[in-house]
C-alpha cells in the first residue's frame, strides 16, 4: 500500500532531524547508559552510541540523525518518522521486529594480480607515500593489487597472521571506490604491531601510511591501525592483544565527524585509565598533509635545479 503523502515545511523537517534521541528513547521507556559525553543504547546485543540528535551503530558502522534513527530502529518510512518526531508526546512507537539476516559469506581475500605495478604507481605517485614505507607493507603481504579490478588491497591479520580483514581502494584516475571485503572483521583491520608503548589510530590505511611517511624515524617500533571507519574496534583489539601499549594517539581527520569520533574514543579511554592524545592534521587528512609537504619540498628544489646546483 503506497505511503500517504504528507507535506512538511523545511522548518518542520529540520526540527524533526534535530530531535534529541535520548529524550525520544526515554519517552518510549528505553534505558540509556552514560559513556563519557555520550550515551549508549542497546540494539539487541549490539551497541548504539548517541550524542544529541546523532547516532552511530558500532557493529554496522552506520549512523545518522533522528529521522534516520526512527526509520532504522522503528521500521517507519520518511513521512511517518518525521510526523512522529514532531508529535512524539502523543503516543508510543513500537519497535519493529528484527529482519532475519542472511548467513554471512566466509571471509576471502580478493585474488591477487601477478604484479603490483598499478597499486605502487597509485600509492607512490598519486598519493605521495614514501617508497620504503610502502615496500615494507608490500613485503609483508599487507598491501597488494587485486586481479579483477586492480584495487589496492590493505590486509589486516589476527595475531596468528591469518587474514581477517581487507580494505579496498580503487586506483583508477577517476575512481572513488573504497570499501571492505565481505565478512571482514573490523577488530582486525589494517594495522602494524610494534614493540613500543605507543599506538596511532587512523581512519584509513592511506592516512596511516601518510603519517608514517612523514615520521619515519624508528617507525617500525611503534604500532599503527586504520579503523577503515571512525570506530575504535581495531584499537580495542590491539590493546587487548598487546599489553605493552599504554599510550594512544587518535589521528582522525580534521573535519567534524572525525573530531567528534576522536573525542568519543578519547573519553572512553579516559574512563578505562588509558592515556590518549588527539593529533589533528594541518589539512583535511594526513594524505593532504604529505602531499602538501612533498609540493613544498619540490618548489624549494626547483631554483637549485635551474642553476645546476
* 184: in domain: yes
Strand partners, 46: 43
**Cell numbers of 301, please?**
628544489
CA torsion angle for 266, 237, 192, 179 (degrees, to 10)?
-90
What is the enclosing helix (H) or strand (E) of 276? strand 275-278
Q: How far apart are CA 221 and CA 159, in angstroms?
A: 17
DSSP H/E element including 200: strand 198-202
100 pLDDT band, cuts 50/70/90, is low
Q: Which of 265, 278, 212, 273 is nearest to 235 (CA)?
A: 265
Q: How many CB atoms lie within 10 A of CB 183?
A: 13
CATH code of the domain covering residue 85: 3.90.580.10
Residue 72 has pLDDT above 50, yes or no: yes
Verify that 77 and 164 share a domain, yes or no. Answer: no
**What is the number of other CB atoms lying within 10 angstroms of the CB of residue 200?**
26
DSSP string, 210-260: HHHHH--TTGGGSEEEE-SSS--HHHHHHHHH-TT--EEEE---SSHHHHH
Q: What is the per-residue pLDDT for 267?
A: 86
pLDDT at 90 over 90: no
Q: Are 200 and 251 in contact (CB under 8 A)?
A: yes
Nearby residues of 137 by Cβ (< 8 Å), 6 or more positions away: 143, 192, 209
What confidence score (pLDDT) does residue 283 get? 96
Determine the Cα–Cα distance for residues 117 and 134; give it in Å rounded to an integer: 13
Domain assignment of residue 181, yes or no: yes
Residue 301 has pLDDT above 70, yes or no: no
Residue 95 lies in a domain: no
Q: Sort strands 223-226 and 247-250 into parallel, antiparallel or unpaired.
A: unpaired
Q: Are residues 134 and 273 in the same domain?
A: yes
Residue 68 Cα distances to 78, 186, 217, 220, 300, angstroms:
8, 23, 45, 42, 50
Whether 309 shows a pLDDT value over 90: the answer reads: no
133 with 211, same domain? yes
- Residue 84: the pLDDT is 86
Mean predicted confidence (pLDDT) in 248-267:
91
Query: Does residue 130 sit within a domain?
Result: yes
pLDDT of residue 124: 98
* 83 and 124 within one domain: no
pLDDT of residue 305: 44
pLDDT, tens digit (0-9, with 9 covering 90-100), for 14-33: 899 999 999 888 887 788 88
The pLDDT of residue 166 is 96
Domain stop point among 90, 105, 131: 90
My answer on whether 158 and 194 are in the same domain is yes
Counting the structural domains of the chain, the total is 2
pLDDT, mean of residues 237-264: 94
Band of pLDDT at residue 94, cut at 50, 70 and 90: low
Q: Is 64 in the same domain as 162? A: no
Q: What is residue 229's predicted lDDT score, i.e. its pLDDT?
A: 83
pLDDT at 255 over 60: yes
Q: d(Cα 32, Cα 30) in Å, to the nearest integer?
A: 7
Q: Are 219 and 255 in the same domain? A: yes
pLDDT at 261 (0 to 100): 87
What CATH number is associated with residue 124?
Answer: 3.40.1360.10
- 75 falls in which pLDDT band (50, 70, 90)? confident
Domain boundary among 90, 106, 133: 90
Q: What percent of the chain has pLDDT over 90?
A: 54
Are 262 and 133 found together in one domain?
Answer: yes
Question: Quick check: is 272 in a domain?
Answer: yes
2 is a domain residue: no
Closest listed residue to residue 236, CA positions, set 174, 187, 172, 283: 187
Quick one: pLDDT band at residue 169, thresholds 50, 70, 90?
A: very high
On whether both 207 and 277 belong to a single domain, the answer is: yes
Matching residue, cell 598491501:
143
Dist. CA 270–CA 82, nearest whole Å: 37
Q: Is 27 left (phi over 0), alpha (psi -120 to 50) or beta?
A: alpha
What is the pLDDT, as a whole number, of residue 99?
A: 46
pLDDT for 109 beyond 90: yes
The pLDDT value recorded for residue 89 is 43
Decide if 126 is inside a domain: yes
What average pLDDT score do residues 195-213 get? 97
Would you say residue 193 has pLDDT above 80? yes
**Domain membership flag for residue 201:** yes
Do 284 and 237 have their domain in common?
Answer: yes
Q: How far is CA 197 from the centre of its chain?
A: 23
pLDDT tens sequence across 23-60: 888 887 788 888 877 888 876 656 888 989 898 887 77
- Looking at the structure, do residues 86 and 134 belong to the same domain, yes or no? no
Q: Span 161-180, mean pLDDT? A: 91
62 and 126 fall within a common domain: no
Domain containing 222 equals: 117-298
Q: What's residue 178's pLDDT?
A: 86
Amino acid at each position: 500500500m503506497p505511503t500517504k503523502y504528507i507535506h512538511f515545511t523545511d522548518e518542520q523537517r529540520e526540527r524533526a532531524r534535530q530531535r534529541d534521541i535520548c529524550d525520544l528513547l526515554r519517552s518510549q521507556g528505553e534505558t540509556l547508559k552514560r559513556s563519557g559525553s555520550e550515551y549508549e543504547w542497546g540494539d539487541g546485543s549490539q551497541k548504539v552510541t548517541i550524542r544529541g540528535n546523532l547516532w552511530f551503530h558500532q557493529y554496522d558502522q552506520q549512523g545518522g540523525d533522528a529521522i534516520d534513527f526512527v526509520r532504522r530502529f522503528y521500521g517507519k518510512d520518511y513521512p511517518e518518522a518525521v510526523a512522529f518526531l514532531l508529535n512524539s508526546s502523543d503516543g508510543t512507537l513500537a519497535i519493529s521486529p528484527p529482519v532475519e539476516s542472511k548467513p554471512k559469506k566466509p571471509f576471502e581475500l580478493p585474488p591477487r594480480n601477478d604484479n603490483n605495478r598499478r597499486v605502487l604507481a597509485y600509492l607512490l605517485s598519486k598519493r605521495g607515500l614514501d617508497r620504503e614505507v610502502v615496500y615494507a607493507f608490500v613485503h609483508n603481504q599487507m598491501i597488494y593489487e587485486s586481479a579483477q579490478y586492480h584495487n589496492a588491497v590493505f590486509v589486516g591479520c589476527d595475531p596468528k597472521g591469518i587474514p581477517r580483514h581487507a580494505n579496498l581502494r580503487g586506483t583508477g584516475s577517476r575512481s572513488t571506490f573504497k570499501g571492505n571485503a565481505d565478512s571482514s572483521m573490523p577488530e582486525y583491520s589494517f594495522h602494524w604491531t610494534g614493540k613500543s608503548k605507543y599506538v596511532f589510530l587512523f581512519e584509513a590505511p592511506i592516512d596511516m601510511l601518510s603519517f608514517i611517511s612523514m615520521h619515519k624515524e624508528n617507525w617500525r617500533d611503534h604500532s599503527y591501525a586504520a579503523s577503515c571507519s571512525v570506530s575504535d574496534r581495531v584499537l580495542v583489539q590491539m590493546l587487548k592483544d598487546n599489553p605493552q601499549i599504554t599510550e594512544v594517539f587518535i589521528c582522525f581527520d580534521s573535519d567534524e565527524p572525525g573530531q567528534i569520533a576522536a573525542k568519543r574514543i578519547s573519553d572512553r579511554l579516559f574512563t578505562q585509565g588509558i592515556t590518549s592524545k588527539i593529533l589533528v592534521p594541518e589539512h583535511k587528512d594526513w594524505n593532504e598533509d604529505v602531499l602538501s609537504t612533498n609540493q613544498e619540498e619540490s618548489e624549494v628544489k626547483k631554483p637549485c635545479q635551474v642553476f645546476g646546483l
